[in-house]
Amino acid sequence: MNFFQHQDRTRKRTRWLLVLFALAVLAILAVVNMVVLLVLGGMEPAEHPVSLGEFLARHGGVILLTSLLTGSVIGIGSLYRTLSLRGGGAVVAWQLGGSVVDPDTNDPLRRRLRNVVEEMAIASGVPVPDIFVLEHEDGINAFAAGYSTADAAVAVTRGALETLDRRELQGVVAHEFSHILNGDMRLNIRLMGILFGILVMAVLGRQFMYYTHHVSVRRTRGNQGAMAVLAIGVTLMLVGYIGLFFGRWIKAMVSRQREFLADAAAVQFTREPEGIAGALKKISVAGGSVLRASPEEVGHMLFADGALGRMFATHPPLLDRIRAIEPGFDPEEFHALRERVRRHREALRAAAEEAARRETERTAPSPGGLGLDADTLIEQMGRPGVGQILAAALLVASVPRPLERAAHSPEWAPELVCYLLLDPEAEIRDRQLLMVAEALGGESEGQVRQLLEMEPRPAPELRIPLLEMAFPALRRRPGTELETLLALVERLIHADGRVDVFEYALARMLEQHVADARNPSGSAPAGRRRLGDVRVQALDLLGILAHHGHSQDPEAALAAMNAGLSALGMAAAGRMPVPDGWPDRLDAALERLDDLKQMEKQQLLRALVVTITHGGKTVPAEAELLRAVCAVLHMPLPLLDAAQENPTMAGD
């Protein structure tokens, strides 16, 4: 199942979630009304019996009022929780007691975690998520939360950091990235909000029964008012159990099969089944995965079960997950592993692992890049392979230390973005530095100059990864500052009177990530349009791509564009769109194309790849433009290794 099919399946599951929630609410309303009617019937005189129809008609107002009150409690609870989670994944991590991993941390375990997450993000073609550690959790667990890739957060427990080696930690992070890339996070966070209303009823039932437990039977005997209070307590208790039943059932329905798929995706990411299998084995022998904080509410989004003894488990049994990865696994191996973990848990030294990783990178063959083949790209989207992960690790390792520190610092990240846009021509660069001083102040201009002095010109292949690495730091800046930065970026781009492809790509990726992060719940991976509704916009997009791939050969550009149109099932065009004003036209086209259905986006991506590979030559401008287009259209593009992706790739 590819990225687009996963996204489409998640949208359908969201609809089923709403149906299941409605059924749960109806069941709760039925029980509440039944008990209320039984109480009312018991209070009526027996000497005047009435038919069921007359009884219901007499108490219709009570039924309506009871239904409205109960439904309001559930609805308000769900709405409150949903609104409280609008801040995205970081909100969930903070509420569970997580602490952000400092970009400049000297702790080798946290440094290892940051490296693993950054490598996975860059390999996947998504912004680096916020990274958290649940300091007070000894169990081995992790989760990813958020509405989209722009507001995602990855959190691991302290127990996972201290117990897992790098390979196992990478397997766990790869599992969580599968949830990020395939739309599971959005469903998870909606599940938290929707089910909270039902759980509110459960909490009310527990609290009310706790109160009535302390009411003396002697004081209540013969007292109708007190008996009514007890009846309400019993009702709320029943409602609470029904709520817990439905909540756990819905979570189990939604979660269990996804965990097998995410495990399989983690194996595909890393090509090391021993990593995630080792993590699952250590959960079995090293203290489990139980969370102290809110396992009931977040159990469906964890790497492994966060609570014990629940009626419906949100995860398959650990042994089943291990055997799905290692079919010949013998449970007797647990005994040896348990002894090994007991003796060596504290002996896992991150510094030695880092040294081993660097040695592996030094001696490993250069990883092959992702070939620009449409079927391969679609298959890899949302599931980057080991080649992309190794390439990302090499990229991260090659980032100059001053630029890495700037990307991780909220005080330097905006200045890093400005630095990436500086023109090589001195006169234009001076005008740009003056713009920085006007918009951000003299101190910011000084910081940009410092970066320029330390690294006069960043390597072209590092520019987009640096932006992705800087995004968690940018997210922590106030919204007004981000608006100022976006306006400044546009001015810096137009300082020389033209817009090149990299400038356009950086600006649009930054703008899209900021917009999604500021309104994560409003960020949708797909819409309702079909390709037939956006033929003009598709023609413009393919024409602009073809022009940048064959800027000196209009006939080749027309042939490439028509090849893309053919892949869309559209008629060939007789001439190329006018290249003038392409940035504004591309903005307008992408705005409508982002509203395509998921499977229509898959077809569009196929056409994009056909266009830029037509004629057997792919130029860097096309690859950068493809990355920007995919970011705006919410299609995470895996890392492309330009040196390997096409033997004839060259400048135009």
* Residues identified as active-site: 176
Radius of gyration of the chain from its Cα atoms, rounded to whole angstroms = 28
Q: Could you give the dihedral angle defined by the CA atoms of residues 547, 552, 553 and 558, in that order, rounded to the nearest 10 degrees?
A: 10
Q: In terms of Cα–Cα distance, which of 414, 551, 382, 379 is closest to 485?
A: 414
- Cβ contacts of 195 within 8 Å, gap of 6 or more: 21, 78, 247, 250, 251, 297
Beta bridge partner(s), residue 134: 98, 157
- Rounded Cα distance between 570 and 563, Å, is 10
Encoded tokens for 335:
């005994």
DSSP assignment string, 308-333: SS-SS-SS--HHHHHHHHSTT--TTH
3 state DSSP class of 145:
strand
Encoded tokens for 300:
């469906």
- Rounded Cα distance between 177 and 260, Å, is 14
H-assigned helices in 137-285: 158-163, 166-181, 184-213, 217-220, 224-270, 273-285
| Distance from chain centroid for Cα 148 | 5
Counts for the chain of helices (H) and strands (E), in that order: 30, 4
CA distances from 82 to 68, 184, 197, 298 (A): 20, 16, 10, 14
Give the Cβ contact number of residue 509 at 10 Å: 22
**How wide is the angle at C-alpha 29 spanned by C-alphas 26 and 30, nearest 5°?**
85
| Distance from chain centroid for Cα 622 | 27
Give yes or no for a contact between 611 and 539, defined as CB atoms under 8 angstroms apart: no
Give the Cβ contact number of residue 365 at 10 Å: 6
DSSP assignment string, 462-508: GHHHHHHHHHHHHHTS-HHHHHHHHHHHHHHHGGGS---HHHHHHHH
- Rounded Cα distance between 188 and 194, Å, is 10
**How wide is the angle at C-alpha 201 spanned by C-alphas 228 and 212, nearest 5°?**
35
